[in-house]
Structures are given as C-alpha cells and as structure tokens.
C-alpha cells in the first residue's frame, strides 16, 4: 500500500505518446452517476472500474456563462445514494448538494434536479457529497467553468484537473478499504498513480510564444501538489475561481491543496523540446506532471496579462463589527486528543476511534445538531483556526468566499479552501451574505469523514 508513483511506474519505462484527451462537453441536461471501465493506469495495466459521471473521468465539462444557470438532472445508477456538490459556487443553499444537510441524497435508481444561478465567473468543480471519501476517490468529480463575459486575451484555455488514485498495480482496481484507519488518522488517502484529466502521463502541445490559460484544479482526496513551471513564464490570475486584483508573477512553487484551484496565464518560452508543469516529489526532486511538446513558434506578447474582470461581491469584510470564533483542530496520529463530543456524547480518544472518529473541531467530532457558528445574514464572522495536529488541513467553506486576515491586519485574496499548517495561526473572515446551512470542513476527505466536519448557519 506504500507504493509511490515511481514504484507503480517501475517497469513502465517507455510508455509515451498517450492520446491527447480533453474532457468532453456535456451534451445533455443529465449527469448519470454510474460505473464504468476507464484506463487510468498506463497502457499494459488493466482498466479500472470507476464510479463516474457519464462514464468518463473526469465527468463531463460543464460550462455556463456568468450570470447564467446550470441545470442538471442527477441520475443515480450506482448501488448507493449520492448527491452532487458544486464546489465554490455561491449557490442557493437547497442546491448545495450536501446529503443529510441541504438535501436527501438520490437513492439508487432515483434522480435529483439541480438548477442554480452562477453569479461568479471562474474555475469550479463538482463532486459527490455523500460518502465522498469513497465516491470522490472512485471518480465522481468533474469541472465546472463559469465564463467571463469577455474572456482574457489568450491563445488557448486549458483545463488541468489533477488527481491521484490508489490502485492495486496487479489488478488495476482501487485499493480497499476506503476507510482504512491509517488513512483516516494520518494524511488521508493518497494515490500511487497521479494523473491529469483522467490520464496518466498527460501531454499537451504548444508553440513558443503562445499564451495559455491553465486552469489547475486539485481533485485529489488528500494530496497537496507542489507545482513549478518549466519553459513557461506565468502569472496567477485567480485563486479558487476568484480573480486576483493584480496578476502575480509565478516565481517559486505553486501549492495546490485538495479542492483548490489556481488559474494561470502562461507564456511558453521554451524554444525546443519540452515545456512542462512539474510536480514536487519531495526535497529537490521534480517530475513532469504535464509534458508540453513544442511544435512551432509565434510572436510572443510581451505584456503582463490584465487582471480578469472582478466578480460581483468582492467587498472586503468590515471587521469593525465582526463576531469572532475560534476553531481548534485536534486529533489524528501523533497528536491525538483527550476527548470530544460525538453524536451528543463526550467520548475519550479510544472510544472515538472505535466510532471511526480521529479528529475534532473545537471539541466536536463529526456533525453536530448545532452549528459551529450561528450568524445573522449580513454579519461578518472571523474564525481563528488553530491547528494542533501534526497534519495540514485544507479547510473549505461552502456557499461563501472568505479572505485570510493576515497578522498585519491586511486581507488575503478571496478563497473557498485554505491550507492550515500545523502550529501556524490562521484567521479568515467573511460576510455571511448567503442564507442557509453551510458546511465548513477539511477537504482531505478521510479527515472530513472522521471528525473534521462542522457547519455554519446563516439565517
């Protein structure tokens, strides 16, 4: 089970030239959750039985214009209930897709109608939100792009959905169980095979001088990607879908935690051979995640890209009347915790583990009947996150975007998912302007399933 990408790939030297595939554009108003057989592993390995939307990994690419609507009927052809969460969309609460909180899941053979407005342009994604630790790992995710009325000046717009899969190299099938105590109590389920847009060894072609928009999405259950550009100069133009006021030149490593998105605009500078999106394998070791073959040359733009048009609703939260909350993250291997409340009972760590709960947020393991914060519509909340575990956590708020409040009082960019590092204080703030019940949870999905899930009520 401790295979890394290299071990998996050992013996596969010489695998080149895999076909270029783009996520298919959804043709119908249906999204069918169903089993399918997909070649995730390199050629020569068996195909993998996945759970998919419409039979592809990732699911169909959904595009909508800013201010438009997305209408999809979820058809559940799986053997277990499911639902779809539209990650990062400031959505009507009833459409948020959280089984057990905002809707009943669609039972096998049943359907659920999603119909919602998309107020913000940007790069989003959708994924299962019932038993998500397993359903997302098995493939139930896809890309949702909300287009700007005037797209930026680029030659091409490319989606790169990063994911990893934990497969048994002999059978090509997902390693089970998905709720392995080791994964729950440590960093979560990381794959031994890393791919892009559902493919191992994903490749692209480009010309020197070409300007590309790269939409990076981390759909992995637990892996934090460290990325670098090779043979390209780039600027970050949006994070989690939301445009930056000013494009920021990419100088070092791009960190992409689970569920986060980074939109880059890059100029291809390599003149021969390859450009690449590199990923960190730890230390100073980098490997090409996406190889880009140079096929020609054209005149480069020698301008810094303009910022993407701002989305509505980017006002800074007014902290003068903010309510403060403290969220203490504890538990997990190596740190543990004394006790926490689970389903209304105070349990010690041993008893919690017996219930499959390894983590707690401010003394609460798993969902509580009462919200972590009960906010009035329009109120501003600031939440201090204290990470007393030895693991990083990608904390995601549904339905609203927040900003980091930095130590000097300045605000970070708008985000929906932020990485909390052990022992590094982190504070976020947001205006509670979207009524409903909104999850706030770790997007390392094994952590979410084993304690790190809270919710916020906006009434």
Distance in Å, CB of 452 to Cu ion, minimum = 5
Q: Which of residues 95-114 bind ligand C2O (CB under 6 A)?
A: none
- Sign of the CA dihedral with 177 first, then 178, 182, and 185 last: negative
72 neighbors 123 (Cβ within 8 angstroms): no
CA–CA separation, 313 and 66 (whole Å) = 13
The correct pick among 211, 396, 415, 447 for binding Cu ion (CB under 5 A) is 447
Which residues lie below 8 Å from residue 185, measured CB to CB, with a gap of 6+?
332, 333, 353, 358, 450
The correct pick among 441, 442, 446, 452 for binding ligand C2O (CB under 6 A) is 441
| Residue closer to ligand C2O, measured from CB, 40 or 442 | 442
The correct pick among 72, 87, 223, 403 for binding ligand C2O (CB under 6 A) is 87
Interaction between residue 85 and ligand C2O (CB under 6 A): yes
Q: How many CA atoms lie within 13 A of 212 on its CB side?
A: 24
| Residue closer to ligand C2O, measured from CB, 382 or 441 | 441
Distance in Å, CB of 412 to Cu ion, minimum = 20
CA–CA separation, 22 and 458 (whole Å) = 39
| Residue closer to ligand C2O, measured from CB, 220 or 347 | 220
CA–CA separation, 404 and 411 (whole Å) = 6
Distance in Å, CB of 90 to ligand C2O, minimum = 14
Interaction between residue 442 and Cu ion (CB under 5 A): yes
| Residue closer to Cu ion, measured from CB, 152 or 258 | 258
* Nearest residue to 148 via CA among 2, 309, 387: 309
Interacting stretch for ligand C2O, rule CB under 6 A, among 76-84, 236-244, 245-253, 438-446?
Answer: 438-446
First-to-final CA distance of the chain: 46
The correct pick among 396, 403, 415, 447 for binding ligand C2O (CB under 6 A) is 396
Interaction between residue 194 and Cu ion (CB under 5 A): no
The correct pick among 5, 90, 127, 213 for binding ligand C2O (CB under 6 A) is 127
Interaction between residue 439 and ligand C2O (CB under 6 A): yes
Interaction between residue 418 and Cu ion (CB under 5 A): no
The correct pick among 212, 444, 449, 456 for binding Cu ion (CB under 5 A) is 444
Chain position whose Cβ is nearest to ligand C2O: 87
The correct pick among 72, 398, 403, 447 for binding ligand C2O (CB under 6 A) is 398
**Could you say which of Cu ion, ligand C2O, none residue 87 binds, taking C-beta under 5 to 8 angstroms by partner kind?**
ligand C2O
125 neighbors 246 (Cβ within 8 angstroms): no
Which residues lie below 8 Å from residue 32, measured CB to CB, with a gap of 6+?
53, 54, 55, 74, 75, 77
Interacting stretch for Cu ion, rule CB under 5 A, among 281-289, 302-310, 393-401, 429-437?
Answer: 393-401
**Could you say which of Cu ion, ligand C2O, none residue 138 binds, taking C-beta under 5 to 8 angstroms by partner kind?**
none
Interacting stretch for Cu ion, rule CB under 5 A, among 22-30, 85-93, 342-350, 385-393?
Answer: 385-393
- Sign of the CA dihedral with 423 first, then 396, 338, and 223 last: negative
436 neighbors 96 (Cβ within 8 angstroms): yes
Burial of 43 (0-12, 13-18, 19+ CB in 10 A): exposed
CA–CA separation, 171 and 42 (whole Å) = 13
Provide Rg for the chain, Cα atoms.
Answer: 21
| Residue closer to ligand C2O, measured from CB, 86 or 235 | 86
Q: Which residues pair with 329 in a beta bridge?
A: 361, 387
| Residue closer to ligand C2O, measured from CB, 5 or 87 | 87
Assign 93 to helix, strand or coil: helix
The correct pick among 206, 259, 426, 428 for binding ligand C2O (CB under 6 A) is 259
| Residue closer to ligand C2O, measured from CB, 138 or 396 | 396
Distance in Å, CB of 396 to ligand C2O, minimum = 5
Q: Which residues pair with 427 in a beta bridge?
A: 384
CA–CA separation, 288 and 319 (whole Å) = 43
Interface residue list for ligand C2O (CB under 6 A): 85, 87, 127, 129, 259, 396, 398, 439, 441, 443
Interface residue list for Cu ion (CB under 5 A): 393, 442, 444, 447
């Amino acid at each position: 089970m401790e295979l890394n990408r290299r071990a998996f790939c050992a013996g596969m030297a010489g695998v080149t030239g895999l076909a270029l595939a783009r996520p298919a554009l959804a043709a119908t108003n249906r999204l069918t959750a169903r089993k399918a057989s997909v070649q995730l592993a390199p050629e020569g390995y068996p195909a993998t039985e996945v759970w998919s939307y419409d039979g592809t990994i990732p699911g169909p690419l959904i595009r909508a214009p800013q201010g438009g609507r997305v209408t999809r009927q979820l058809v559940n052809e799986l053997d277990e209930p499911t639902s779809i969460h539209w990650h990062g969309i400031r959505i009507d609460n009833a459409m948020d897709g959280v089984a057990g909180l905002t809707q009943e899941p669609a039972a096998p053979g049943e359907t659920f109608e999603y119909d919602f407005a998309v107020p913000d342009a940007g790069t989003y994604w959708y994924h299962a939100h019932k038993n998500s630790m397993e359903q997302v790992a098995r493939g139930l995710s896809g890309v949702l792009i909300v287009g700007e009325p005037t797209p930026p000046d680029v030659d091409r717009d490319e989606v790169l959905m990063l994911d990893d899969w934990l497969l048994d190299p002999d059978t090509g099938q997902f390693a089970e169980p998905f709720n392995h105590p080791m994964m729950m109590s440590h960093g979560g389920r990381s794959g031994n095979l890393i791919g892009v847009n559902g493919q191992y060894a994903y490749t692209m072609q480009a010309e020197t001088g070409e300007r590309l928009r790269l939409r990076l999405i981390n759909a992995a259950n637990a892996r934090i990607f460290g990325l670098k550009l090779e043979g390209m100069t780039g600027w970050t133009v949006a994070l989690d879908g939301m445009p930056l006021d000013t494009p920021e030149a990419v100088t070092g490593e791009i960190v992409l935690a689970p569920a986060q998105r980074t939109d880059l605009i890059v100029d291809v500078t390599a003149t021969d051979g390859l450009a690449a999106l590199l990923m960190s394998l730890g230390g100073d070791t980098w490997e090409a995640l996406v190889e880009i073959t140079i096929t020609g040359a054209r005149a480069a733009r020698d301008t810094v890209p303009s910022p993407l048009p701002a989305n509505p609703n980017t006002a800074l939260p007014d902290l003068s009347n903010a309510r403060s909350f403290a969220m203490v993250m504890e538990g997990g291997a190596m740190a543990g915790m004394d006790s926490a409340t689970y389903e209304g009972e105070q349990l010690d760590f041993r008893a919690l583990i017996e219930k499959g709960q390894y983590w707690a947020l401010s003394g609460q393991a798993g969902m509580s009947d009462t919200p972590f914060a009960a906010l009035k519509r329009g109120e501003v909340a600031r939440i201090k996150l204290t990470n007393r575990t030895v693991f990083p956590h990608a904390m995601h708020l549904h339905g609203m975007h927040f900003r980091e409040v930095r130590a000097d009082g300045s605000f970070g960019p708008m985000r929906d998912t932020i990485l909390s590092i052990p022992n590094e204080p982190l504070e976020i703030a947001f205006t509670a302007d979207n009524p409903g019940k909104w999850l706030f949870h770790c997007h390392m999905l094994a952590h979410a399933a084993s304690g790190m899930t809270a919710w916020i009520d906006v009434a």
